[in-house]
Structure 1
């Protein structure tokens, strides 16, 4: 074979059958649906100098931005990355500190209009991040020992505390002073260990932990006869891709640290397609890296993992019999094992795209690798891996919605994961449910993977590239696809522009709908079907063309006292809405233009009220609810069961109070009935309509009893009685489960 030498050469490398060409443009395998995004929302190409200038401007204006966002005077914003749309909108992602301490879960994205005004902000922590004291009660040495114990309990080898620092932990709800310990060594399968353990600096209790080395498995098949970027060096060549940020590929030769030996060759013809030639694995790794680079650059306008034009490093032949591959931010490198018996390197295209996308996620949203955000992190890598496969269009590995379909780790010849119906792997969830975050992140990724398939191809039976799929929906209602390209565009923009480190499934739906509105228009067909694909995995409701009316539920009001109720409605069509009501009690009426029900009811009784809302096109919708006119209201109750997720994500149950005058009493009674197998894990709060939080119960790891069935008394006299009150329950440790059975407020 010959090589064509022009500067950094494109070389021909021999591997088993099939031909592929990364960077050949939009995939010939792309979905038949093709919806063009709005030009103004596309990424503006930024040179390294332009990106640096934007970051410098953000740094210089950080104090003004913090003031505009009304942050605490002790908080400081530190710009981490910046994106710019073609219409001039700038999206700046910030980390923040409090009194000089890093705030974990405090990241935010500020969206700035071309005139410099703030259009909006997306925050990982919705409330203030202040803590009462920055002086820890527990010592660094004490938490080091605890954290090493956590790693050893998980089977870590040579566990040691590489670092410990004082932080503010804001990702779990109420911010607390904490220690973050990073434990090194190796995981049980030989993967490097980088376990981050967050402990309460006052009590020493574990708040959170995550594994920073994000590992997974791939197909391990070769890519056929491909071209890779190499560079002339002296009389030979090195596997350095100068066209892609000087990405290098090296041979670890069984080692588990360092960069290894950069692959070199005398004639610029690499590998022989067989395991016996160590270069073969390097060819596949280099090809996977360049294909991933080309996809992100040519489709999304992103140059390199961090978007800064800098290439990463690929390391092959890691360890001995290592059946895995992983991305590591600390070395900015992708690492591949040789598989069982060192006979099957995991250097396939989908492995590269999956693992290197972990680097993209880290450089953008930074989704925490645990709970629901961890599932979204894994799903992001699966989603973009599928997009890369379809983009490359390789006969050796056609695009599909299967994950690890050829690696055969289990020995049964089946894929690791299925995007059309995730439960087919026996472990993943098809749809969202309370407590999903307690699953391993590779399995809690299921609903997001399922969303991507439904959005790309729709529900029901079909064949794509010779693979048969049959995708169900959670509500048994069909989903109309938006097309694979649109689904990938929406996910990428949501990840890079709107998601934060703590984004959960509800937040992912919100982020993708914002992205769909940006790219394809608010209430466009693409926007509506983006939402309907989420409804297909039990995240949010469907949006149907026309008018939607929010049912206000059962309401109470007091006879002969002024009352008001705002009806909420929207339409996918432009123009004003018209409101009408039948069945209202005497003395109440509805404003036809605003939907406000107001007046003074004059007669006791229970009425069935029907609201009808019509838009300018004549489309309309109705909602029926019960309105009780009573002499006095004292007790409000919610008897709906609400599952409590295991570890960190809060469960909420709402009670809407109406018909009262003035503020709540000093002796507001909060009766709770919570079924749980270890009540010491629970922290319980009452949240007033204005957002004020009253702590009812703290976590107490020494209380192993079951259930919380009691009544708390709260001085809520400073808060208005009417409005939506929330019971917030968090399970702060792993292993025990429960639910909110019922709760009530007595005024």
Structure 2
């Protein structure tokens, strides 16, 4: 799919909304017990055993990755033929991942008669010797339409999309560009369609970019999603930390050259543009209080650095797109804005200042959450609707949590609570809980039929709960001074395998075996494949993945 972005909370502030069910497809990711009830909660070694299937992802240099992409690009015609694709179909290389045993996983988008096929993405798996090891497809449907001449003019699709999007994007909504003709294949039988992008503002002040898919022959709305979902200095949340800067004339510029050139900008409560650079005379930033603009910038700059380091040192990934280039961050968005979001279009993270501009949403896990939406977009590109939307949100919660543990910051120690520092509820409670998601009053502990019709921020609870069970296990325990008590749907006991292994399995599944349309059942399959590749089919890790999914009613 196209431009994609996400926020740490739903488009309407949690404190001002009751739970609502969204229309299907509508807009809007253990350690052993040491004593009774206690566990260490520490990460175990992330590197799989040498007897595993060699599925550990390699860290590729920029030139090695470029060469793999080039090689894949020269064989798209033969690859399409080997997959049995039709004569009008072509493959476009999107990404490539190589494992320690030489297996290569190449991600492709598809076109049909020159038109983008939305929901047609696939991953081809090839052994070190060049033999096929299968393909993972977003759809198994045959891509074919009678012709690519639309019965409805683009202007008709544009009017229809504007009317459909106004409830989400506001009365002043306008189309971002002319509708583009596509093949819609993500749901049902592939059809000729228009994709129209409508820009506006959501009710809580978050920018809106709604994608509307309409049938090009009947005008019927087929699908829609909101692309902006609702991400030495002293920070308000992280305390005294090191921030990347460079000398700029007689001043210092907040730019992290060690991490892809990441920069943080000051929007000064505006809602458009990149903002102003942060410059300082003595290279000492922030005072730990929201009274000066630098404080939020310190938290965000540090959060981006920790996320970058986690990706590189733990996941062996060189930045969001694995190409060594950083996104950028913007702070002080709008006025008293109670959210943060990732936006693919600007390739940036944006943060509001919260209630009365005194509670910025710039904590470590929020920064990791927003940057990880970029990671999802660059890999599986999970659609932000239905069950795949819940998996998209959960992925950001999972890696936001992982970053918090990785940073080992005494001011914000790692835990399985999401947004516990930002006080979005006004009473000191976290935004979300991974051990029992329903404690927030909105999220789901277990899968059930029709769950994909609700807000992805709530349906993410199923995958968050799975990840917690896989990492730490079921039942009561205390980790890092926080008490958890994680139940299972059928009362089964789940023994955790440790957070680090759980992270590796989720990352492997995301980057290698998930596609844009992956739902919870397919996520179970993807994580089982990942566990098999990393640790072996008869491993305790593989069995734990199966057991943890059973614990959240995904079987």
Corresponding residue for residue 212 of structure 1: 227
1:282 to 291, 297, 300: 297
State whether structure 2 residue 507 is matched by structure 1 residue 492. yes
Instruction: Answer whether contact 1:361 1:377 (CA < 8 A) is retained.
Output: yes
Q: Distance in 2 between matches of 1:29 and 1:495?
A: 27
Change (3 A) 1:35 1:234: closer
Q: Which residue of 1 aligns with 2:35?
A: none
Is contact 1:38-1:518 (8 Å) kept? no
Q: Tell me which residue corresponds to 1:134.
A: 148
Deviation at 1:34, TM superposition (A): 4.5
Mapped partners of 1:98, 1:261: distance in 2: 43
Tell me, yes or no, if structure 1 residue 424 matches structure 2 residue 424: no
User: Residues 287 and 110 from structure 1, CA distance in 2 versus in 1: closer, same or farther, beyond 3 angstroms?
Assistant: same
Task: Indicate the SS of the match to 1:271.
Answer: coil
- Correspondence 1:398 to 2:413: yes
**2:524 is the counterpart of 1:513:** no
Match of 2:29 in 1: none
Which residue in the other structure is 2:553 paired with?
A: 538
2:430 pairs, out of 415, 427, 441, with 415
The alignment yields a C-alpha RMSD, in angstroms, of 1.5
| Partner in structure 2 of residue 696 of structure 1 | none
The aligned runs of 1:306-385 (5 Å cut-off) are 306-385=321-400
Deviating beyond 6 angstroms after TM superposition, the runs of 4 or more aligned structure 1 residues are none
- Give the structure with the larger strand fraction: 1
CA distance in 2, matches of 1:155, 1:168: 25
**1:533 and 1:51, CA in 2 relative to 1: closer, same or farther beyond 3 A?**
same
Cα shift at 1:98: 0.6
Q: 1:172 aligns with which of 168, 173, 187?
A: 187
Q: Please give the residue correspondences for 1:448-463 in structure 2 after superposition, counting only pairs within 5 Å.
A: 448-463=463-478
> Does the residue aligned with 1:105 lie in a helix, a strand or coil?
strand
Match of 1:63 in 2: 77
Please tell me whether residue 116 in structure 1 is matched to residue 130 in structure 2. yes
Aligned residue among 48, 66, 71 for 1:37: 48
Deviation at 1:412, TM superposition (A): 2.9
Q: Are 2:159 and 1:145 equivalent residues in the alignment?
A: yes
Q: For residues 465-502 of structure 1, give each alpha carbon's deviation from its aligned partner in whole angstroms, at most 9, with x where no partner exists.
A: 11111111111111111111111110000000110000
Whole-angstrom CA distance in 2 between matches of 1:35 and 1:223 = 26
1:140-189 Cα shifts (integer Å, max 9, x gaps) = 11111121112212252531111210111100021111110011122222
Q: What does residue 54 of structure 1 align with?
A: 68
Q: Name the CA distance, whole Å, in 1 between partners of 2:481 and 2:327.
A: 34
Structure 1 unaligned residues grouped into runs of 5+: 1-27, 541-747
3-state SS in 2 of match to 1:304: coil
Instruction: Give distance in 2, aligned partners of 1:166 and 1:155.
Output: 22
Instruction: For residue 161 of structure 2, give the secondary structure of its aligned residue in structure 1.
Output: helix
Residue equivalent to 1:731: none
Unaligned runs of 5+ in 2: 1-38
8 Å contact kept, 1:366–1:500: yes
SS at match of 1:51: helix
Once the two structures are TM-superposed, the CA of residue 408 in structure 1 deviates from its matched residue by 2.4
- SS of 1:37's equivalent in the other structure is coil
Please tell me whether Structure 1 or Structure 2 has the larger radius of gyration of its CA atoms. Answer: 1
> Structure 2 matches for 1:150-165, cutoff 5 A?
150-154=164-168, 156-163=170-177, 164-165=179-180
Q: Quote the Cα distance in structure 2 between the aligned partners of 1:470 and 1:34.
A: 25
Q: TM-score, normalised by structure 2?
A: 0.90
Contact kept in structure 2, 1:215 and 1:355, CA below 8 Å: no
Q: How many residues are paired up?
A: 510
State the partner residue of 1:664.
none
CA separation in 2, counterparts of 1:105 and 1:223? 40
2:459 maps to 1:467: no
Q: Relative to total residues, which structure has the larger helix share, 1 or 2?
A: 2
Relative distance call for 1:490 and 1:284 in structure 2 (3 A) is same
- Counterparts of 1:358 and 1:154 in 2: how far apart (Å)? 21
Alpha-carbon deviations, 1:556-582, whole Å to 9, x = none? xxxxxxxxxxxxxxxxxxxxxxxxxxx
3-state secondary structure, aligned to 1:317: strand
Q: Is the contact made by 2:260 and 2:319 (CA closer than 8 Å) also made in structure 1?
A: yes
Instruction: Report the CA distance shift for 1:499/1:413 in structure 2 as closer, same or farther (over 3 A).
Output: same
Cα distance in 1 for partners of 2:73, 2:169 equals 42
Q: Residue by residue, what CA displacement relative to the aligned partner does 1:23-77 show, whole Å, maximum 9, x if unpaired?
A: xxxxx97536556414532222212121111111111100000001010110000
Contact conserved, 2:148 with 2:192, CA < 8 A, in 1?
Answer: yes
Give the equivalent residue in structure 2 for 1:11. none
CA–CA distance in structure 1, aligned partners of residues 229 and 382 of structure 2: 12
Is the Cα contact below 8 Å between 2:47 and 2:56 reproduced in 1? no
